[in-house]
Amino acid sequence: MQTRSPIVVGREAESGVLRRAIGDARGGRGGAVFLVGEPGVGKSRLAATATGLAFDAGLHTLRGRGSVIGPMVPYRPLTEALLSLLRAGDLPDLDELGGYRPVLGRLVPDWATPGATTGGSVVVLAEAVLRLLAIAGRGRGCLLVLDDLQDADAETLAVVEYLVDNVAGQPVLLAGTVRDEPGAAVDLARSASQRGAAELLELARLNRGQVTLMAASCLDTAPERVPAAVAEQLWADSAGNPFVVEELLHGMVAGGLLVPGGDGWQVAGELRTEVPAAVVRSIAHRTDRLGEPARTLLSVAAVLGHRFPLAVLRAATGTDDRTILANLHAGVAAQLVTPDEPAPDWYAFRHPLTAEALLAALDPGRRADLSGRAADAVEQLYPGLAGDWCPLVASLRLAAGDTARAGELFAVAGRRALDDGATQSAVALLERAHGLLTDVPALAGALDDLLLALGEAGEFDRALGLAGEVAELGRHGLADRRRI
């Protein structure tokens, strides 16, 4: 039995749209497609299918993902996507970008020109990204996949909107996945569709027949040979969500409720499943079967997020490379994690819900302990906490109960975002710092930066709401640096 269906079920129409759009991009007629739906409905899997189709057609393929756990990080999906282009070793001639090359230094430091500024307008940055994609796709096409845009920062969404509105006539296809929950990302997708700038593919749940077909695919049998009781239970409890179908089916087999026999798969005993708690229990059961070292390893990985490096796991657990790799290989075999190619020594959970389920299985004390250990490991390995590490460690320190250190790091991350021109992200990070810091000088510094960020974001009412606190700090002689 396979935990994941080897085929994509019930998405023939959507696959056809993506196949056509890929062909158009290869021919120089760019466009944008948004895959929208609930968690677990198959957005990322369909995006992965599009990536495979594009790769087979000879297109450049880039892929980035929004942050799932922790605060939003400016431009993370775009940076990850461009780094995948860099790692692939098929980088176009950046000199063709002319004056736009230094601007991309905001996303990839290696591309910055010494002495040149990397700040400035988000629109200019978006145009620089568009020109890079157009160069990469010249004569062959380019596919940019951005997963989990609902977790992306405001600046990333601004760049995405610009790309959507200007990609026509370029050899570039933008494909984004978005959860259908209220937020800026889904609003962007729907607005782009309404004005004809993008195609919106809303992924529905599977119907009864498709659930049975998915189960048959996992069981490597014909749909008519799936026991009727199993098909009925899967349909009733999954409500047609593909991820839940796979998890429930795995639970049936692992629990000995569905067993192979001479006449095919047969039910052994009474089928008992619950949704959604069954998803958490199923994943917890699969990790338990791997043993305590593997469970601890995957729990540390879960507090780090959807993706995680071996170096941090090694430092956080005190485990040698051989043991770590053995446990991770067991996790790969259990289809909980997968190597995060082409990044060396990085792994990722097969689905963001896997990490969420592992976190849900931890009691508060255990989660705090693992978060603290992970934070210690990251700070040891990456002094200065450049890039995404700073807000991640801030979140880990907060989960560990170290609010003072968390506030300090949120303030640092906020100042960096402000310096990079990511004002909305700066506001969010500095507000986190403002709510956590109690040390008066540190609080004054964070408030100073927050006021500046609010001013640059045009949110003057929110800035004025802090007037009382500014006056109080002024009585301590610590509010004399106001810049708005």
Count the Cβ atoms, other than its own, within 10 Å of residue 401. Answer: 14
Q: What is the pTM of this model?
A: 0.76
With beta carbons less than 8 A apart as the criterion, state whether 172 and 178 touch.
no
What is the number of alpha carbons within 13 Å of residue 34 lying toward its C-beta? 29
* Beta carbons of 334 and 247 less than 8 angstroms apart: no
Instruction: Please say whether the beta carbons of 481 and 443 come within 8 A.
Output: no
Angle, helix 154-166 to helix 122-136, in steps of 10 degrees: 50
Q: Which residues of the chain have pLDDT under 70?
A: 1, 3, 68-72, 115-119, 272-278, 281-282, 341-343, 351-353, 471, 473-484
DSSP collapsed to 3 states, the chain:
CCCCCCCCCCCHHHHHHHHHHHHHHHCCCCEEEEEEECCCCCHHHHHHHHHHHHHHCCCEEEEEECCCCCCCCCCHHHHHHHHHHHHCCCCCCHHHHHHHCHHHHHCCHHHCCCCCCCCCCHHHHHHHHHHHHHHHCCCCCEEEEEECHHHCCHHHHHHHHHHHHHCCCCCEEEEEEEECCCCHHHHHHHHHHHCCCCEEEECCCCCHHHHHHHHHHHHCCCHHHCCHHHHHHHHHHHCCCHHHHHHHHHHHHHCCCEEEECCEEEECCCCCCCCCHHHHHHHHHHHHHCCHHHHHHHHHHHHHCCEEEHHHHHHHHCCCHHHHHHHHHHHHHCCCEEECCCCCCEEEECCHHHHHHHHHCCCHHHHHHHHHHHHHHHHHHCCCCCCCHHHHHHHHHHHCCCHHHHHHHHHHHHHHHHHCCCHHHHHHHHHHHHHHCCCHHHHHHHHHHHHHHHHHCCCHHHHHCCHHHHHHHHCCCCCCCCCC
Phi, psi of 384 (to 5 degrees): 90, -20
Tens digit of each residue's pLDDT (9 = 90 or more) over 140-172:
999 999 999 998 999 999 999 999 999 998 999
> What letters, b where the CB count within 10 A reaches 16 and e where it falls short, cover 310-328?
bbbbbbbbebeeeebeebb
Instruction: Give the length of the chain.
Output: 484
Residue type, 330: A
Cα–Cα distance for residue pair 420/273, rounded to 1 Å: 49
